[in-house]
Amino acid sequence: MKEIGIASAPGKVILGGEHSVVYGFPALVAAINLRAKVHATLLPDEGIEIIAPDLGIRQIYTYDEAFNVKEISINHATDNIAFAVYQLLEYLMKTGIHDTKRGVSIQVNSEIPISSGLGSSAAVAVASIGAISDLFDQELDKELISKLAFQGEIIAHGTPSGVDNTAAAFGGVMLFEKGNMQWLDQVQELPILICNTKVPRETKRLVSAVRERYKRHENLVGKILDTMGQVVREMMHGFDDKNILGELMEINQGLLASIGVSHETIEKICWIAKSNGALGAKLTGAGGGGCVIILPKDEENAQVIKGKLEKEGYDIFSTSLSIKGLLIGNGE
C-alpha cells in the first residue's frame, strides 16, 4: 500500500465516422494529449470522496449510494465516477486486496473540457481506477480498467459505444467497427487544434434526429452513411499524408452537415480555419455544437489559425493525437 496513488488518462476525438458508426460503419478514433490526472488517498472511514477543485466539486458517497447511483443521482458530474470507483473497490474487496473499512478519496485535475464530446468522463474514470490501483500497489490490466470505467459510462451516457473508455485506457488511433478495435501502427503524434463552440448539445437528441431523417429518406441517407464509412477507410489508409487526411476531414464534415448535425458556429469555425490555410476541419462527436477539430499545415499555420479564432472569441487549444493511454504513477 502506498500513501498516494497517481494516474492520468487522455481524452479523445473522433476523426471520422461519428453517426455512421451507429449504423455499423467504422469510425476512426484517437486519444489526444489532453489528460485527466487523479491522485488517490485512503479515507479514515468507508466511503468514496471525489474532489475536483477546478470545478468547485467535493462530493462524498457511502458505498450504498455509490452502488445505487442510478436511482439516487446525487451529482451528475460525479455519479458515474463514484459508480466506476465502487466497481473497482468491490473487485478489490472480492479478491481480498482491500477491506471495506476504509474508503478512498480521489482528487481530479483535468485539462479536458467537460460535456463537449472529448471523452472527459471516461478519462476521469480510467484515471481514477488507475490511481486507486496504484494506491493499493496493484497492476490491473488495461482491459479490466477499461471495462470498469465503461460501467460509469453507462451511467453517464445510457448506451455508449465504449470508444471513450477504450481510448482513455489504451491510447493511440483506432478503427472502431461493430464493437471491435483495430489500432493503427506507427502513428506519429499529429498536432491538431481543438476549438470549443461552447454550444451545448446532447448526443442522444442528435442520434435520434439522424434516425428520423434516415426514416424519411432511407435511400439517400443510407448512401450518405455508407459514404462516411468509405471516407473513414480512406482516412485509415491515407493517415500518413496530412493533405489527404485534411481533405477527407472536409468531405466528412460536408456529409455530416447533410444529415443535419452541423451548426452555424461549427461552420463558421471550419470556414475561418480553412480560409486561413488549414488542411481540414470538421466537427467531432455528435455535433450540433461541441468541438471542432482542425488540422493545420504546420506549427506556423497553427499559430495563425489560433490567433484568428481567438480574435473571434473562441476557446481554442493546441494538442496532438496521443499514443499514450493510461499512465500510472508519475510517468507523464
Residues with a catalytic annotation lie at 164
Applying CB under 6 A, among 7, 18, 195, 228 the residue interacting with ligand PMV is 18
11 is a site residue for ligand PMV (CB under 6 A): no
Task: Mark the segment that binds ligand PMV (CB under 6 A) among 100-108, 133-141, 237-245, 282-290.
Answer: 282-290
Using the structure block, give the residue that is written with the C-alpha cell 478519496.
105
Q: How far is the CB of 28 from ligand PMV (least distance, A)?
A: 12
Amino acid at 272: I
Residues between 182 and 201 that touch ligand PMV (CB under 6 A): none
Q: Pick from 21, 82, 193, 221 the residue near ligand PMV by CB under 6 A.
A: 21
CB under 6 A: which stretch of 17-25, 28-36, 225-233, 264-272 binds ligand PMV?
17-25
- CB under 6 A: which stretch of 16-24, 183-191, 237-245, 273-281 binds ligand PMV? 16-24
Q: How many CA atoms lie within 13 A of 18 on its CB side?
A: 33
203 binds ligand PMV (CB under 6 A): yes
Q: Which of residues 154-173 bind ligand PMV (CB under 6 A)?
A: 161
Count residues binding ligand PMV (CB under 6 A). 11
Interface with ligand PMV includes 113 (CB under 6 A)?
no
Per CB under 6 A, does 207 bind ligand PMV?
A: yes
Closest to ligand PMV by CB, 21 vs 82, is 21
Nine-digit cell string for 12: 479523445
CA–CA dist 22, 33 (Å, integer): 26
SS3 category, 125: helix
Shortest reach from residue 304's CB to ligand PMV, in Å: 28
Q: What is the rounded radius of gyration, in angstroms, for the C-alpha atoms of the chain?
A: 20
> Could you report how far apart the first and last alpha carbons of the chain are, in Å?
21
Q: How far is the CB of 287 from ligand PMV (least distance, A)?
A: 7
Q: Which of 19, 35, 147, 263 binds ligand PMV (CB under 6 A)?
A: 19
Class of residue 267 by CB neighbours under 10 A (exposed 0-12, middle 13-18, buried 19+) = middle
What is the residue-wise DSSP string for 191-251? EEEEEE------HHHHHHHHHHHHHHTHHHHHHHHHHHHHHHHHHHHTTT-HHHHHHHHHH
3-class DSSP state for residue 86?
helix
Going from the C-alpha of 138 to that of each of 131, 154, 164, 327, 328, the distances in angstroms are: 10, 25, 23, 14, 11
Nearer CB in complex with ligand PMV: 18/134: 18
What amino acid is encoded at 169 in this protein? Answer: A
Shortest Cβ 220–ligand PMV spacing (Å) = 19
Q: Interior CA angle at 160 toward 154 and 163, to 5°?
A: 120
Choice between 272 and 286, CB closer to ligand PMV: 286
CB of 263 to ligand PMV, least distance (A): 13
Stretch that binds ligand PMV, among 13-21, 65-73, 124-132, 238-246 (CB under 6 A): 13-21
Give the residue closest to ligand PMV by C-beta: 285
What does DSSP assign to residue 77? T
Enumerate residues 6+ apart whose C-beta is below 8 A from 212.
Answer: none
Nearest CB to ligand PMV, comparing residues 10 and 290: 290
Contact set with ligand PMV (CB under 6 A):
18-19, 21-22, 117, 161, 203, 207, 285-286, 290
